[in-house]
């Protein structure tokens, strides 16, 4: 089943490996197809999976009625579902009536990403603290001297390329499976392979 346009969330470190969103369940516990929204009289338009469109409307936008919302993640994780009590909505639209439920889903996904971070391989202190201080110092520098901040960030890029080369090759040549490596990095297997290939200066298809 495809997924149409919808609001989603990512973190800087994990990116698309853990892309979260509010998912919809129908009364039979199935997930609905994207809703097609016509944009022109010629019939062109876009497919949307934003949770708030699933209000059972049969007007301009036809969509089934959501029975529950839950947080979903591109890694396959889902939160417990939150039933929607339409009889209590008092004629309000879904976006207004279930906004708090959607916010709860976002918070549950936040907790999920914290768990992903905790399960990833640990960056030991004092290195982790040093990285945080470097980030803070560059952000502070950017407020007064943007060019210097850019040069500092560029230096970090160079350091990353130089220092990650041998570790990447060591991981590539180790006995660790792709699944184990991905889990240690908090990424999906494709993203982990891309990372190793980039830092190891190899084609992932080699």
- pLDDT at residue number 95: 94
pLDDT tens sequence for the chain (206 residues): 578 899 999 999 999 999 999 999 999 999 999 998 877 666 678 899 999 999 987 656 689 999 999 999 999 999 999 999 999 998 899 999 999 999 999 999 999 999 999 999 999 999 999 999 999 999 999 999 999 999 999 999 999 999 999 999 999 999 999 999 999 999 999 999 999 999 999 975 55
pTM: 0.87
163: alpha, beta or left, given left = phi > 0 and alpha = psi -120 to 50? alpha
Output the pLDDT for position 1. 58
Per-position b or e across 183-204, b if 16+ CB within 10 A of its CB: bebbbbbebbbebbbebbeeee
Q: What is the pLDDT of residue 91?
A: 84
Domain residue extents for the chain: 15-119, 127-199
């Amino acid at each position: 089943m495809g997924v149409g346009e919808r609001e989603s969330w990512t973190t800087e470190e994990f990116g698309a490996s853990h892309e979260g969103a509010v998912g919809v369940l129908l009364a039979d516990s199935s997930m609905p197809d994207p809703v097609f929204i016509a944009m022109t009289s010629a019939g062109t338009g876009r497919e949307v999976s934003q949770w708030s469109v699933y209000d059972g409307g049969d007007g301009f936008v036809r969509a089934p009625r959501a029975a529950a919302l839950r947080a979903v993640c591109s890694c396959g994780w889902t939160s417990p579902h939150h039933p929607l009590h339409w009889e209590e909505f008092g004629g309000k639209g879904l976006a207004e009536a279930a906004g708090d439920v959607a916010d709860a889903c976002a918070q549950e996904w936040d907790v999920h990403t914290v768990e992903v971070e905790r399960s990833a391989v640990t960056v030991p202190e004092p290195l982790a603290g040093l990285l945080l201080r470097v980030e803070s110092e560059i952000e502070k520098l950017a407020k007064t001297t943007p060019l210097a901040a850019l040069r500092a960030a560029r230096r970090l890029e160079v350091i990353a390329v130089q220092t990650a080369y041998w570790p990447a090759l060591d991981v590539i040549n180790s006995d660790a499976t792709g699944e184990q490596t991905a889990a240690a990095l908090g990424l999906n297997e494709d993203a982990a392979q891309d990372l190793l290939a980039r830092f190891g200066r190899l084609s992932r298809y080699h």
